[in-house]
Amino acid sequence: MGHILLIGSDDEFFKELRANAGLREHDVQSCASFVDAMRLLRQQPCDVLLTDPDTTTSDSLALARDVSLFHPSVRIIALWPAATNQQIIEAMRADVFACFTEPFDAAEIAAMVQTALRAEQWRDAIEVVSGLPHWLTLRVACHLITADRLTRFMSELQQATAPSGEGDLLIAAFRELLLNAMEHGAGFDPQKVIQVTAAKTARAIVYHFKDPGPGFDADDLTHAARSHNPEDIVASALEREEKGLRPGGFGMLIARQVADELVYNERRNEVLLIKHLA
C-alpha cells in the first residue's frame, strides 16, 4: 500500500482522486498547507506528494527543493494554476516527478500517481543540459517511467506553441520516437541515456533524438506498421510478439503523419522531427 499526501483545500477534487479505482487500495491523506505537510513528513514520509493547486509555482518549487533535501525518496507531483516554460524546466531541474496545469484531469493525475508509486531509481533520470525555453536539451535514462514523465513535461511545454488542434498528435509522435530510441537504440537499459532536444524557432518546432545504438536498416522494419491498412497492422503486431517486443510499432506511422519533415542521420540513430508553424 502506498502513502499519498495531498496539500490544499479543494475537497471536491481530492474526493475525485480518492474515488479513482487505481488509488482506492492506497492510503490517501490531505493537509491544508505546506507547513502542515512538512510536519506530517517529519512524522512519516509519504511516497507521493501532490502540491496545493492554489499555491504559486515558485512556492511549490521551493517546497519541492525542501522535501527533496530531507526526503529524497518522495515523488512530488506539482499541480499549478499555470506555469511558464522556464518554470516547467525548473521543475525538471528540481527533480519534480511530474507537473500538471489547469484544467486538471483527475483520471490523468491518478494514473501519474500510480506511475510514481511504481517508480524506482527515478531521481536524476532527466538531466537538463540546456534549459532555455526555445532550446531544451536533456539526457534521459532509458526507462518506460522516464518516458511517461518526460512526455508529461513536454505536453505542458508545448501547450501554447503547437499548431492549433495538433498538440496531442505532436506529443504522441514525440513519445513514440522517444520510445523507439529507448527500445531499439538502448534496449531499455536504464544505465544508457538518450539525448533529446526540443527547439522552437519563429517558423517551426523541432525535436531531435539521439540514441546510443548502432542505428537500423530502413528496409528491415517488419515489426513496425507502415500504413493504416488493418492487415499491415496485424502483421506488425504478430512480428513484434515473435520478437518479444513491447506492444506498439506505430511510432514511425504516427511520426510520418504528424511531421512536415522527418530527417535521419546516416546511421539512423539520430532523427529530427520538424513541425512547421503557420
Query: Does residue 163 contact residue 275 with C-beta atoms inside 8 Å?
Result: yes
pLDDT score recorded for residue 207? 97
In the numeric block, the cell 483527475 is attached to 106
State the Cα–Cα distance between residues 210 and 133, nearest whole angstrom: 20
The 10s digit of each residue's pLDDT in 20-40 is 988 989 999 999 998 999 999
- Report the CATH number at residue 68: 3.40.50.2300
Please say which residue of 122, 149, 183 terminates a domain: 122
- 21 with 35, same domain: the answer is yes
Whether residue 35 is found in the same domain as residue 51: yes
Contact 225, 240 (CB under 8 A): no
pTM (two decimals): 0.86
198-253 per-position pLDDT tens digit? 999 999 999 999 999 999 766 655 545 555 555 555 555 566 567 666 555 566 78
Indicate the residue among 122, 150, 176 that finishes a domain.
122
Cα–Cα distance between 141 and 191 in angstroms, integer? Answer: 7
Same domain assignment for residues 26 and 11: yes
By CB neighbour count within 10 A (0-12 exposed, 13-18 middle, 19+ buried), where does 192 fall?
middle
> Which secondary-structure segment (H or E) carries 31?
strand 27-31
DSSP string for 64-131 = HHHHHHH-TTPEEEEEES---HHHHHHHHHTT-SEEEESSP-HHHHHHHHHHHHH--S-TTSEEEEEE
Q: Render pLDDT for 47-96 as a digit per residue (tens, 0 to 9).
A: 999 999 888 899 999 999 999 888 999 999 999 999 999 999 999 999 99
Domains identified in the chain, total number:
2
Which residues are 127's β-sheet partners? 139
212 touches 193 (CB < 8 A) = yes
Cell 518522495, located at residue: 74
- Given this model, what pLDDT does residue 277 score? 92
Q: Which of 100, 122, 144 is the last residue of a domain?
A: 122
Enclosing domain of residue 82: 1-122
Q: Are residues 208 and 246 in the same domain?
A: yes
List the grid coordinates of 158: 508545448
Average pLDDT for the chain: 88
Reported as a single tens digit per residue, the pLDDT across 167-200 is: 899 999 999 999 999 999 999 999 999 999 999 9
